[in-house]
Structure 1
Amino acid sequence: MDTARLELAAQRYREAEQAFDAAREDLQAEAVAVLQQNEERGAQATVARITGWTREYVRRIKKRADEQGA
């Protein structure tokens, strides 16, 4: 039984998962920054359109960021 390929695939998966998590955190931070800098009526809709997130999700990450910053 050759487990070396399995171990390599598992390592690549873990690295990809870490990169994905970091990218999500970066995207959330950038979205929150846009929302905090731009209180215009359509800002949430713009962020939702660009990210593909729902407006509800956009509101939740903004609220969470506001609570952490307070």
Structure 2
Amino acid sequence: MDTAKLELAAQRYREAEEALEGARLDLQTEALAILSQDDAQHGGQAAVARVTGWSREYLLRLLENAPGAPRR
């Protein structure tokens, strides 16, 4: 039994998952940078939602769960 192709596919899959996770973290970091600015209420949320496709509710959750965000 030759598992070389299976091993290669599994490795490619793991690498793709890692790349996707890294991209998600980068996107969240950049979105938080915009949302945390003082002028975020003046179009920042709308711009982030437009570019990312994320809902207002998701953006609010992202802000609430950000490091350093005040806890309720």
Q: If each structure's helix is expressed as a fraction of its own residues, which one has the higher value?
A: 1
Distance 1:14 1:39 in 2: 36
Aligned length: 68
Residue equivalent to 2:5: 5
Aligned amino acid, residue 45 of structure 2 = Q
User: Aligned partners of 1:33 and 1:45: how far apart in 2?
Assistant: 14
Instruction: Flag structure 1 segments of 5+ consecutive residues without an equivalent.
Output: none
TM-score (norm 1): 0.87
- In 1, Cα distance between the equivalents of 2:42 and 2:2? 58
Cα distance in 2 for residues equivalent to 1:42 and 1:51: 14
Pair 1:32 & 2:32 matched: yes
The structure 1 segments of at least 4 consecutive aligned residues displaced by more than 2 Å after TM superposition are 38-42
CA deviations 1:13-60 (Å, max 9, x no partner) are: 000000000000000000000011133243212111101111111111
